[in-house]
Amino acid sequence: MPFSRPTVGDDTRQDVTADTAIAARCVDLVKLYGEGPTAVRALDGVSVEFPRGVFTAVMGPSGSGKSTLMHCMAALDAPTSGTVVIGDTDVTTMKDRELTVLRRDRIGFVFQSFNLLPTLSAAENVVLPQRLASRRPDESWLATVIGTLGIGDRMSHRPAELSGGEQQRVAVGRALAGKPEIVFADEPTGNLDSASGAHLLGFMRRSVDEFNQTIVMVTHDPVAAGYADRVVFLADGHVVDHMDAPTAERVLDHMKRLGA
Amino acid sequence: MWRATLSSLMTHKLRLALTTLAIVLGVAFVSGTLIYTDTVRSTFDTVFGETTAAVDLNVRGVSQLADAQGGTQFEVQTPAVPGEVADRIAGVAGVAAIERNVEGFAQLVDAEGNPIGGGQGPPTLGFNAPAVEALAPSELRDGRYPTAAGEVAIDAATARSNGFAVGDTIQIAANGPVQDYRLVGVFGFGEDVDNLAGATVTLFGPDTAFELFSQDGGYTSVDVLASDDARVADLQDRIAAAVGAEYEVVTNDQLAAESQETIDTILGFLNTGLLVFAGVSLLVGAFIINNTFAIIVAQRTRELALLRAVGAGRRQVLGSVLVEALVVGVIASSVGVALGVGVAVGLQQLLTAFGIELPDTALVYTARTAIIGLTLGIVVTLLSALLPATKALHVPPVAAMQAVAVADLGRRGRARTVLGVLTVAGGLGALGFGLFGGAGFAFVIGGAVALLIGSALLARFVVRPLLRIIGWPVTRLGIRGTVAQENALRNPQRTASTASALMIGVGLVTFALIFGASVRESTTRTIDEQFVSDFQIRSRNFMPFPAELETQAEALPAVATTADLRIAQVGIDGRVGTVAAVEPDELGTALQLDALDGDLADFSAGGLLLSDDAAERLGVGAGEDLPVTFARTGAQDLPIRAVIDGSGLDFDYLVDETTLLDNATDDGIFTLYLTVADGVDVERARTAIEGVTGDYPAVTVQDSEQFKEEIAGQVNQILGLMSALLALSILIALFGIANTLSLSVFERMHELGLLRAIGATRPQVRSVVRWESVLIAVLGATFGVGIGTVFGWMTIRALADQGFSTFAFPAGQVVIAVVVAAVAGTVAAWLPARRAARVDVLRALAAT
């Protein structure tokens, strides 16, 4: 096992059966790549909801459409048909500029790599979306986030001077700094060693628990999925299953069954 | 390997286009210059061929100046041929007919009373109408040749452009005030040529022409038509024997060769001047090629390493880069030599716009032009790519396995620094040696080029501090400014190289501005010191004006005194120089001179005044005699009365008027100095004087302020022309900025994708690229201002003893130049910025 679940404290994960508001959802999402008979259906009628204050993992084998789903949900890519709603905003009809502002103000991102601008310091990277919006960052909130992430003493450094784990924590800091409605993370631990990965997932967990943040994370790692409240399984462009209160073992078993 | 190279070229079409443009424009400028000067030369050849075709022999006085060398662009008039000598020629056996020629200047006036032609353009010539049809240089198009007084014929081009037709009454000032003439004929030269290379030509009846233009009662020259049975060579000997050694008999071929030589001298100046600017463009192009290939090699490190890893030899890798350069060079040079035609037309228009009018005829495109253009373009491209290509040699195969491109600036960086320091030192040395040590123009040019290249090599050391200062206001704009500044700072070498290309053009513009301002200031000061009269009457077209103007001006009650200044060419110490002449008792009212040696009062007895420069060069002083060679009478020993401060004077020698009139051939009045009578209002005096000069279209009346304004105007005109010619090199530099930016945008795809993903709008991304461009442009302009100031300061100091007393820094104009560079930077960023803003977010993030 590369990562292990934190054992300290109670299991504070949300009870997803309770009536929580929906942070983001999609209805009948279809995404085609290419045209005609050779077209690939990356998403084939996906409908899924991501409740507020919940850490959801999206899992599936390579080619299952999990990254495509995230890109469409996060307004990075336009679906061929279907609807994506963030909060109560239908993003499928929005123009590029509105989508950009939506991403800037209401969504946070953590990618697998290339998360930071190499020419800016960690501190500048964290507040980049607010600076792009010409807004003053909320200093006390920023201090809380940076303190929680444990990167306070690294803020004046450039990304090249930070370890991979530190870089990803700065990226998470940036994702949270603007208090977004939802954070999308695409294989955030993909390039990290297990210890750094465990730290990062722990922080993401805490941001959900302590700040009531909504996180959607795409991963193929059952251990990473074990940090989530809920797992959505994708295969061949369809939602095939979901699991509440997952553990790494259960997810792995489930994956094996799906693969079989 | 070939295939890999070519496919790499084709996949980066924009890069290819931008890189190519740098060389295309330089090559086009070079070939355009050659086409233009070839065209002008061929036009002159045709015209002279036509005008002298029928003449077998030409007889003229022997100029005593013939052996003196260079130093003037004025053709020195030969001594006149008296009538009885002409008669003697006509009597020589084998002479079928002779034409007695006189020539001078005739200023045509248009319907509004303004002079036609003249000024800095081609001259306004006046000749006798042909008496012998067979020897006529011209061919009638309409009407007839003038015979009686008051009749003229003019060239077809001038008639056409002014709407003059046979039967019209037109106004002409020929060696006197404007008079009415009846236009009786319109002529051309041969079948196709309508004018004499842009000059206006007026023919007068033979008697009128003689009255107007005859010098010393003689003819300018005599054309001879041999009879059918006479051998020209024999005839030449017979005529030579008949006229004696005072006259020379030249053949048609000799005449043609002489005019060819004159034209080549004039065109040589023009050609060199234009080629210097073309060279600047090519130099800038070389910088850009060099920079582009450096970036390409850096970006392709992994690809090249992979080639090495799979077995490509070092030579093959080097070859693949050089082949790419060769392809770029061949394409660019081919397009360049083709576009040269357009540049030639542009040059024609440009020079016309700045008052240098030359005939427009069909363009002459020789094989030589194409060969020079192609060779130059290809060689420059290959040489510029050579250094970056050798870098590719050192890419180790293992780099293919490494994620980060290897930046091997360590040792190469040191080598570059050492080279830069040596080049700058050598350049400054050569420049100083050329300017102050009198080593000559080649040292100045070589030193300037070395200084520019050396500065470019060292520029990266100042990029960081300088960009922090320049970029400070930009970072105040918000995060996009900060990102732009950081992007410009991340590769100081690349930023320095890109900015250096702009440095060259802006540097030379700055130099020109400083030089111009200093000339203005210095001449203003000189005029204040030397302009002792109230008014000057000056020739507007570099042609002398008639003596009767002085008589008329002197007769005005408002005018107290007049002094005339005559100009002639003389030979001194084997070189042709300009000598001025005044009447000794008028000296004080004409010019304010300072004697450094001897006493100006001694000049009242006539003799010679010498500038300090000339005295030093010749090693003579007051009290000695100096042999001065005059065109008519040959060497005369003149007593040096005083050595004067020559700064600000157009001439090095001043003699008394009698000496000049007694010895020189051309002795026309160029300037008249007038003092207003006591108690007469200056403006009323001006009105009175203008009443007289109104009849002389080629002269102008000026007080000292107007004279200053005119000089300033001329300086501005030259500055304008230089700036227009340098604009091309600046344009090329902007393409260089665009090129670097688009390569950088390509390199930073991930970051741009990230920026867009986390919420940068397209305008914000565009703005980041644009501000980076502005920063590079302003940086380059700042370098340019710095280096231009160094050039300017050194040049002005070097010319201090030639009247450049003041170093002036035109701060306003320099600031405008920098602002223009900044604006141009935003234009250069247009395409790369658009490209950056259109980055596909997902693909950018996914790409590795």
Domain residue limits at A104: 22-259
How high is the pLDDT of residue B330?
Answer: 94
How high is the pLDDT of residue B183?
Answer: 95
Could you give the count of Cα atoms lying within 13 Å of B139 in the half-sphere of its Cβ?
13
Mean pLDDT, each 10-residue run in order, chain A (260 residues): 42 46 92 84 92 93 88 90 91 89 91 85 92 88 89 91 92 91 92 90 92 92 93 91 89 79
Whether the Cβ atoms of residue B833 and residue B763 lie closer than 8 Å to each other: no
Residues of B in contact with A77 (CB under 8 A): 842
Beta-carbon separation of B750 and A97 below 8 A: no
| Structural domains counted in chain A | 1
Residue spans of the domains in chain B: they are 43-263, 412-458, 463-531+704-848, 535-702
Tokens describing residue A137: 């960052």
Quote ipTM for the complex: 0.85
Amino acid at B424: V
Burial degree of B538 (CB within 10 A; 0-12, 13-18, 19+): buried
Compute the count of residue pairs across chains A and B with CB atoms less than 8 Å apart.
68
Give B417's contacts (C-beta < 8 A, 6+ positions apart): B457, B458, B461
Relative to beta strand A238-244, strand B218-219 is: unpaired
Beta-carbon separation of A132 and B759 below 8 A: yes
Residues of A in contact with B478 (CB under 8 A): 131, 134
* Helix B460-475 / helix B479-490 crossing angle, nearest 10 deg: 170
Which of B486, B750, B758 comes nearest A119 by C-beta? B486
How high is the pLDDT of residue B200?
Answer: 87
Residues of A in contact with B764 (CB under 8 A): 132
The answer to whether position A11 is within a domain reads: no
Tokens describing residue B446: 């070589």
Give yes or no for A128 touching B (CB within 8 A): yes
Report the gap between the CA of B308 and the closest CA in chain A (Å): 28
Beta-carbon separation of A97 and B764 below 8 A: no
Beta-carbon separation of A120 and B483 below 8 A: yes
Give A47's contacts (C-beta < 8 A, 6+ positions apart): A25, A26, A27, A28, A29, A239
The answer to whether position A1 is within a domain reads: no
B162 phi and psi, to 5 degrees?
Answer: -110, 5
Report the gap between the CA of A17 and the closest CA in chain B (Å): 32
Give yes or no for B487 touching A (CB within 8 A): yes
Residues of A in contact with B488 (CB under 8 A): none
SS3 A233: strand
Q: Find the residue in A nearest to B841 (Cα).
A: A76
Distance CA B762, CA A103 (A): 13
Q: What is the CATH number of the domain that holds A166?
A: 3.40.50.300
Which of B489, B758, B761 comes nearest A97 by C-beta? B761
Beta-carbon separation of B482 and A111 below 8 A: no
Give yes or no for A131 touching B (CB within 8 A): yes
Beta-carbon separation of B750 and A114 below 8 A: yes
How high is the pLDDT of residue A4?
Answer: 43
Whether the Cβ atoms of residue B827 and residue B731 lie closer than 8 Å to each other: no
How high is the pLDDT of residue B62?
Answer: 84
The answer to whether position A15 is within a domain reads: no
Give yes or no for A95 touching B (CB within 8 A): no
Tokens describing residue B240: 């030579």
Give yes or no for A183 touching B (CB within 8 A): no
Give B630's contacts (C-beta < 8 A, 6+ positions apart): B64, B65, B568, B570, B571, B636, B663, B664, B665
Beta-carbon separation of A117 and B757 below 8 A: no
Tokens describing residue B513: 């501005």
Whether the Cβ atoms of residue A244 and residue A16 lie closer than 8 Å to each other: yes
Q: Within 10 Å of residue B554's Cβ, how many Cβ atoms? A: 15
Whether the Cβ atoms of residue B399 and residue B406 lie closer than 8 Å to each other: yes
Report the gap between the CA of A208 and the closest CA in chain B (Å): 20
Give yes or no for A76 touching B (CB within 8 A): yes
B535-702 belongs to CATH 2.60.40: no
Give yes or no for B762 touching A (CB within 8 A): yes
What DSSP designation does A246 have?
-
Which of A76, A104, A116 comes nearest B841 by C-beta? A76
Residues of A in contact with B487 (CB under 8 A): 119
Which of B490, B762, B845 comes nearest A119 by C-beta? B490
How high is the pLDDT of residue A10?
Answer: 45
Distance CA B762, CA B834 (A): 9
How high is the pLDDT of residue B368?
Answer: 92
Report the gap between the CA of B418 and the closest CA in chain A (Å): 29
How high is the pLDDT of residue B408?
Answer: 46
Mean pLDDT, each 10-residue run in order, chain B (848 residues): 62 74 89 89 79 86 69 63 91 91 89 76 85 87 93 91 92 87 91 75 92 87 90 91 90 85 80 86 88 83 77 80 88 93 88 66 86 94 87 74 49 78 92 81 86 88 91 88 90 90 92 90 85 86 78 88 88 84 87 86 88 88 89 87 84 89 82 89 90 84 89 86 86 89 87 90 93 95 94 86 81 92 92 90 73
Beta-carbon separation of B758 and A128 below 8 A: yes
Distance CA B226, CA B54 (A): 10
Report the gap between the CA of A145 and the closest CA in chain B (Å): 18
The answer to whether position A12 is within a domain reads: no
The answer to whether position A92 is within a domain reads: yes
Three-state secondary structure readout of B736-804: HHHHHHHHHHHHCHHHHHHHHHCCCCHHHHHHHHHHHHHHHHHHHHHHHHHHHHHHHHHHHHHCHHHCC
A107 phi and psi, to 5 degrees?
Answer: -130, 145
Burial degree of B427 (CB within 10 A; 0-12, 13-18, 19+): buried
Give yes or no for A101 touching B (CB within 8 A): yes
Give yes or no for A129 touching B (CB within 8 A): yes
- Cα dist from A11 to A5, A20, A247, whole Å: 10, 18, 12
Give yes or no for B617 touching A (CB within 8 A): no
Which of A77, A100, A115 comes nearest B754 by C-beta? A115
Distance CA B490, CA B498 (A): 13
Beta-carbon separation of A104 and B759 below 8 A: yes
Report the gap between the CA of A186 and the closest CA in chain B (Å): 11
The answer to whether position A63 is within a domain reads: yes
Report the gap between the CA of B521 and the closest CA in chain A (Å): 48
Tokens describing residue A6: 């934190």
Give yes or no for B491 touching A (CB within 8 A): no
Q: Within 10 Å of residue B542's Cβ, how many Cβ atoms? A: 16
Beta-carbon separation of A100 and B761 below 8 A: yes
Q: Which of residues 208-227 of A touch B (CB under 8 A)?
A: none
Beta-carbon separation of A131 and B479 below 8 A: yes
Beta-carbon separation of A114 and B760 below 8 A: no
Beta-carbon separation of A118 and B751 below 8 A: yes
Beta-carbon separation of A109 and B757 below 8 A: yes
The answer to whether position A47 is within a domain reads: yes
Give yes or no for B490 touching A (CB within 8 A): yes
Give yes or no for A205 touching B (CB within 8 A): no
Mutate to test the interface with B, among A69, A128, A186 (most CBs of B within 10 A): A128
DSSP string, B241-256: HHH-TTEEEEEHHHHH
Beta-carbon separation of B479 and A128 below 8 A: yes
Give yes or no for A241 touching B (CB within 8 A): no
Distance CA B675, CA B685 (A): 9
Give yes or no for A39 touching B (CB within 8 A): no
Residues of B in contact with A119 (CB under 8 A): 483, 486-487, 489-490
Relative to beta strand B575-582, strand B634-644 is: unpaired
Beta-carbon separation of A105 and B759 below 8 A: yes
Q: Within 10 Å of residue B813's Cβ, how many Cβ atoms? A: 16
How high is the pLDDT of residue B10?
Answer: 62
Q: Find the residue in B nearest to A183 (Cα).
A: B758
Distance CA B568, CA B580 (A): 6
How high is the pLDDT of residue B182?
Answer: 95
